[in-house]
Structure 1
Amino acid sequence: MKAHNKRKITTYLNFKKFYLILPSIFTLTTLTSSISTNYNSNTQEESLRKEIIESNTETEKTLKNLERAIELTDYGNYKEASNYYQILDTSAVIQSNDSLRMVMLESRSFMNKVLQRFSKSLEDLLAMLDYYTKQNDMNNIAKTETLLAEFYRARNLKELAFKHLGYAEEIIAQGGVDPCNIAYWFSRRAACETQFQPNTDNIVFFCNKALEISNTECSSYTEALIYNELGFTYGHTEFDNEEKVISYYKKALEILEESNRMRDVATVIHNLTTYYARRGYFDKALEEAAPIIELAETNNWHGVLEDLYLLKMTILYGFGRYKEAYDLSRKSYLSKVQLMNDQYAIDVEELQAVHDKELAEKALKEAQIKAEANERALAYTVVSSVLLGASTLTVVLLFLRVRRKNQQLNLQQAAIESTNEQLSHSLEEKELLYRELNHRVKNNLMVLSGLIYLQQEEDPDGNNELYTALRNRIQTMAIVHEKLYGINSSKNINFQDYLEELVPLVFNSLKKGNGHMPFTIRCKALFLPIDKAIPLALIFNELITNSIKHSTPQSLEKGIVIQCRKENNLTIIEYSDFGPGIKGSGQSGATGSMGMRIIKLMVMQLKATLKRLPTHEGLSFEIRF
């Protein structure tokens, strides 16, 4: 779609340039015909011709700058692209032509989104939406609503992403929307399904719908996005069908490389090498990753570098090349540090904004005191002038002075308002930084889980049950950090949602045959901070693991039940299954197993009480804290 936009820019500007010059040519012809009656006509003609040439040069220069900015953005050279956007922002051609300005805003908002300058990206998108709404341009409103959905998907805000997809869908249903924009909408709907509510049938359906209505004229980038989405989806659902998975990734790479979108190429290569590594094709994975790592290092793509370093580290660790793996872990850490430094720059800006605000408030107070003094001086002067019959000129001069001071006061008030707005943006970025930290912790935990999985695969005679238990405990903590990354408040976790994700995860890692296990969870009012969520999550991981490991086909069909309630200031959670229970005496059951010792330690950390409840069937525990 970006390449298509550039073609539209070129065509549009060529026609625009012609129509800008046309009136001047007409005027020049008129002037030429009157040379015999006007002594200065030669001079006027030369001056007008010069003005036309200068106007033409400025338009051509703006065209080239805009095309170059888009090319650099598509490639991933954001530093140089930013310089061009700064020039374009002050261009008279851009400012006087709304259509060109919309093209610039769309490209710049994409760049700022990738760089996580979310406030700037949103500012450009909202400016586009405001303009198209005033023009009642339903086609471009639908496109902009889809771009807003993609923006909120990048920020992991599910409700807002689907909300804007819904707005765009309503407009598409009315008709009149360009097929390219419809295809892009289907591709972003598939991406949101993958990220927020993965359902293979839905994802494949939306991808195929996009391919059906797309065409080679306008949607090569959209097609690349779709092929990458299909490769990712089939790579998880049809893992053994490697010909199918790889073919989709290769199609995406062919399109992206042809259009020189190398930053997107790096993302697809990361997905492909991850699949190779999971299949055990470590040599292929290293071969694919090497050139793109070099390219990412050259262009300082720190985000993708961190992921590529971690992937290569995992592969080298599997080969037993521990020294190289360690060096890559250091590189990954440094890439993360660079990302964090970029985020911490926000804090520096915030401190600067606070300092500027304090200076502005101090200046405002001084200005108010001076203004009050000047107003009193004016009043005294007027009275004195009336009483003493002094010249009214003094009154006029003093009045002008007060007005000038008041104008300065208004400027200072505007500066304070601007500073407050900057502070608001800084606080939003700080919140994003906190959530990003949780995201990185989750990623590191998943890498650790992956390393244990590789070790398990290389150790067929080892204790598979121990490996699985270790991975489940790590993933249990990783989900907590994933939930913290996904919520707006960044404070409390909805434990109902957490348990609904944890139970299938544990069951899938331990299930026997093709059986399934139903579960009932009634904890909708339970919201916990991270210091309580993690120990409680580990307790439930061990209880669910025990229920599945010791289940019979009959007890597995009955599943498990988890219920929560409040009594005064206490939270009470009951856990029940229908299996054979735990052999042992005492209210908390057997004490020798590792799982039960973990439960007891976590109960102590929660400062809670654990009580085994009497039951005719299965196992039942009560936790109070």
Structure 2
Amino acid sequence: MAFDIPMSKIVLSIQTRHFAKALIILVMVSSVGSIAQTPTTHFLPLQPHKVQWANAVIKNALKTKDTIQLAEGWYLYGKIYEAVGDYLTAKRYFLRSLKIQEKRGDSFELSRLYYRLTTIERTLFHYKESYRYAQLALQVAERINSYKALSLAYNSVQSIHGMDWSEGGKNAQYPSPNYDSVLYYLRKKEKLVLSHGKPMDVRAVMDNLGVELRRRNDPKSITYHQKALDICLKLQEPTEIIVAKLQLAEACLQFKQLRKVKALIQEIEQEIPALPPHSIDRNFQTNINALYRDYYAATGNWQKAFDYAQRVHGAEYQKLHADREGAISRLSIEYETEKKEAELKAKQFELQLSQQNQQTQQRFVQILAVLLVGALGVSVAFYRISVKNHRLSESNALLVREQNHRVKNNLQLVSSLLNLQLNRLTDDATKNVLEETQLRIEVMSVLQRTLYTGQTLGEVNVHDFLTEIVKVGLQTFGYEHVQVQANISPSLHLPIDHAMRIGLIVNELLTNACKYAFPDHEAPKWSLSCEQSNRHWILQVADNGPGFIPEKPITKKSSFGMRLIQLQADQLYAKYAFEIHNGSLFRLNFKV
């Protein structure tokens, strides 16, 4: 019906002149809290005292480094811009405050910010964002169990469900109004305000419930509007009493309680003269005339209904005409103002651009000079470092060559001493022991040569190292003719400690083969393989002799060679095994 107007709209129409007088100045606070220029004329004017207060809060927060006060200052700016209709700027300030409040955790201030952002996103018709902020406001309010926060959150969620986001079904991906959810959250707020709320909060909820029930054509709406009126009567608020009576009269008219409507109309007529002049504006009088029109139409008094309809129509026409004239006048003023501002800004921009170009050129020259000086200094420093490093490299190379030469001479000296001792011995067993010791020293000598002639420092090429040991061992025992099969990738490298232990193990196995496998064989063969898979290594050594499996466990009574193999395997944390497979087969598994 034409008179079915929500209470919030009527209150807004009553207070239009108050809101029209509100002036808010746009303030942008920099790092020192300076005030920015006034916004463009597309929004309502600003209220200086509120801007000054928000500016003072920001300045004090920056001075005292109080982040909570800073968040409150950004929130105040958001309210200022929201009031003048600059929702995008208001949103930016609210988001600044939100970054600080979210770090503090749940609080009324955080829920209040979500409520404000819900309102802005709803006004901008952004469904997903408004729904998300409304849910966040509700979640925080429920966790802190705050009356004020819950009241705002219920309003947010209720307003989301009450809007037609689908625009009458044109946009199917967005929902239509969900009035069941609207009523659900109104009931929750009713329960909340009845237990904690102030009388005017209760009155607002009763009016909203009455409007929703009227929409459902439920006669209980009259009861709720009556409760709202009773509260206004108890508080003795003349303007609010008339608003409540208007709401109640519309509800009674909807359900054909014409006597009560008539009584309420008479009361309103008696009370209107006592209202303050500023309370009766054009919208307020139009709502009353609309009520009279609908009442007389319902009672069959068509003449009066027509008269009041003419008044409503005339008021609406006057409003439309005034709005049109005001809009034309405002647009004309805005056009001239913006034209002059545009010319002034263009000149200022040209001046600023010229100044910026000069500053840029000066800075470029300064930066270029600094870079040249810096480059020169860095070049000199790098040259000195390079010369120093070259000298150190030559010195280190000389030391390494000297070390290699001394190690080589020492190993040769030890080997020569053992050889002299061998020539003087007559006992074959002792000779064999010294020969085996000589071979072990030769393993160290081979390792030293392979390490310091290779390309990598601290690692040994496994292929070169082991093939050299096998070659030296076979020459020592006079078995150069033995067919050797080495399956080792040239890319394999081992650390020095691991290579030394592997070399000693291979040397012992080769010595055993030369002593026990090759002498009585017509075509002796010996094979060696080493494989790597990630960190796992497998070493296999085999001959085609009669086969050999040592007794376990290895004890002090075992041969020196077997004890040496056991010792090296323990140092490698390796597992090994002997098998008989067309001769002897030794397999060693270890990790690097």
Q: TM-score scaled to structure 1, two decimals?
A: 0.33
Which has more helix, going by share of residues? 1
